A and B are shown apart, each in its own frame.
Chain A
Amino acid sequence: MMNKTLCLNSALPTKDSNAPNFSQKVAALSQQAIHTCYQCGNCSAGCPAAFAYDLQVNQIMRAVQLNQEDLALSAKSLWLCLGCATCSLRCPNAIDVARVMETLRHLARQQNKITVPVVEKFWLSFLNCLRAFGRSYEIGTMVLYMLRSLRLTTDLDLAPQALAKAKLGLLPHTHAGRAAVGRIFTRFAESEAQSKRDKEASSCN
């Protein structure tokens, strides 16, 4: 109900007039009382990634309140957020702002709005290694990432020290759970595909 009031208050024209429930959707998914944000700016003041953000985290909160779905989900900031939860700790309204950011990241991904692709590529490289080996494998992740992002000199400056100190495991550590982890990923991919199909079916109706 509160959200309705906010929608009425919104003087800004919303590009996403067909998505009036965006704010409620984010509130439900993140389980956070988005409407209680009163724009004090504490979250942005303490955010260690603020200098790299295109939209500050309090502005993202406002965009969500105002149902500016496209603005919120296209923010590069979603992909630069370090997940440190300083914002959550300092919000006077006890909003877990980091969780809101994570929810928005999930939604942006579902809509293919990946505005900082290198970050997503890094994650996917990590997950692919994990899927294959069951445990993370640093060099494997790096190589996959370099190939995906075509940043072939990533961290090359660190290589001599990292190798000299044997800081990176050269071989993946294998263990029996490897196959079980592979099956978790397979089932996850199936469930994602299914929910996509369900969504498409319902939007056709």
Chain B
Amino acid sequence: MQLAYFPGCSAKGSSLDYELSTQAVMAALGITLKEIADWNCCGSTPAHAVSSLLSSALCARNLDLAARAGADLLATPCPSCLSNLKATSKRLEDASFRQKVNALLDAPCAETLPKTTSVMQAMAELVSLDELAQKAKLSLKGLKLVAYYGCLMSRPAELMQFEDPENPMLMERMLTALGAEMLDFPLKTACCGAAFGIPQRPLTAKNSGRILELAANLGADAIVTCCPLCQMNLDLRQAQAEKAMGRRFALPAPYYTQILGLALGLSPEDLGLAKLVVPMDGLLAKLTPKQAPLASEAPSSEVSE
């Protein structure tokens, strides 16, 4: 299976571990990611904060490159890139806006542009939970996790088309299939403070602090993430959040792909685990070999339902 792929800039910088683990997990699941040649930055928050036109022109170039490469579906791991790509596709439906965007590009963008999706949704479409569980080598049994989606994965709801916008369950379904205990997490779509860690630190430290605090209070072994910016705020900036909340968390904030990868038997190096600022050693120690289906107690859990 092949999937056109837009990695986004953080994949090449601050979230290299997301990139490594995404590539490794998809390969293990038999899906080849085909990176769009010569892609550019989607413009992130700054471009659309300044102008929708600028943001859309930057995204339209990428969508056009994907279209010309023959893709009808383009997947990205980054919710922020996805949101910009989707907003652009939507705006381009308006002929006069499309004209303005085309005027900024070297050549007008292709009439039909690919649909866009998250790697997570593409993965879930292509690989069933049963298949995922079958491919696992280690069990996540005994791990207590919370899934954290952040804002952009599911909002604006109409645009993102991702699960229940206030209570998405996709990561829960995947990780439960691999044996983890997923705790209810009311702040799963709360905002972490986005890119304001630099110009307005309290906005980020307090919001991330609130999220980490609840996860810690629930007794989670880790808070599982899917957005490079959220992950940075919860991991690299965890010390700032601790300062804002006046307590220690020491809570690992791995990407969901890193946890899936561990269950699939991939090595810590392949998954970039050394990049995590808050280490996952405690969690790694809890992983156990998956019970072979032939083992004496195995059938009971299968039959019980």
Contact = CB atoms under 8 A, between A and B. Distances in A.
Interface string A167-184: 111000101111011011
Interface in A145-195: 145, 149, 154-155, 157-158, 161-162, 165-169, 173, 175-178, 180-181, 183-185, 187-188, 191-192
A48 B200 contact: no
B105 A169 contact: no
Contact of A158 (B9, B53, B195, B237): B237
Given A48-B191, A188-B51, A84 B155 contact: yes
B156 A89 contact: yes
Given A82-B194, A116-B199, A122-B198, 8 more contacts: A83-B49, A84-B194, A86-B191, A98-B156, A118-B199, A165-B276, A167-B232, A188-B104
Interface of B: 9-10, 12-14, 16, 38-41, 43-54, 57-58, 61, 100, 103-106, 151-152, 155-157, 165-166, 190-191, 193-200, 202-203, 206-207, 232, 236-237, 239-240, 274-277
A27 interface: no
Nearest to A175: B38
Contact of A85 (B50, B105, B155, B207): B155
Interface in A128-155: 130, 134-138, 142, 145, 149, 154-155
23 contacts: A48-B193, A49-B203, A82-B193, A83-B151, A84-B191, A86-B151, A89-B166, A102-B52, A122-B46, A127-B46, A130-B46, A130-B47, A135-B9, A135-B40, A136-B41, A155-B198, A157-B239, A167-B232, A167-B275, A168-B13, A175-B39, A181-B41, A191-B53
A61 to B, nearest CB: 17
Contacts, number: 172
Given A80-B203, A88-B156, A187-B103, A162 B236 contact: yes
B51 A154 contact: no
A145 B40 contact: no
Contact of A123 (B45, B151, B190): B45
Contact of A187 (B41, B104, B236, B275): B104
B211 to A, nearest CB: 10
A191 B103 contact: yes
A197 interface: no
A123 B49 contact: yes
Query: Taking chain B's interface residues, is the majority helix, strand, or loop, or is none over half, making it mixed?
Result: helix
Given A105-B49, A134-B41, A85 B199 contact: no
A140 to B, nearest CB: 10
Nearest to A125: B46
A46 B195 CA distance: 19
A37 interface: no
A180 B207 CA distance: 37
Interface residues on A, range: 35 or more
Contact of B58 (A49, A88, A158, A184): A184
Report, nearest first, the 10 A-B pairs whose CB atoms are least far apart: A169-B13, A84-B191, A123-B46, A84-B151, A85-B155, A136-B9, A122-B199, A126-B46, A48-B191, A177-B38
A7 B61 CA distance: 43
A136 B13 CA distance: 9
Nearest to A123: B46
Contacts of A154: 198
Contacts of B104: 184, 187-188, 191
A85 B100 CA distance: 26
A73 B12 CA distance: 37
A185 B46 CA distance: 13
A74 to B, nearest CB: 17
Given A177-B61, A188-B53, A157 B156 contact: no
A135 B183 CA distance: 37
A119 B50 CA distance: 11
A96 B236 contact: no
A158 B13 CA distance: 15
Nearest to A192: B51
A138 B61 CA distance: 22
Given A88-B155, A181-B61, A48 B207 contact: yes
A183 B106 contact: yes
Given A123-B45, A130-B41, A161 B155 contact: no
Contacts of B156: 85, 88-89, 96, 98
A188 B13 CA distance: 27
With a 10 A CB-CB cut-off, give which of B38, B40, B239 has the most chain A CB atoms. Answer: B40
Contacts of B277: 161, 165, 167
B104 to A, nearest CB: 5
B100 to A, nearest CB: 8
Given A48-B191, A183-B106, A187-B103, A173 B61 contact: no
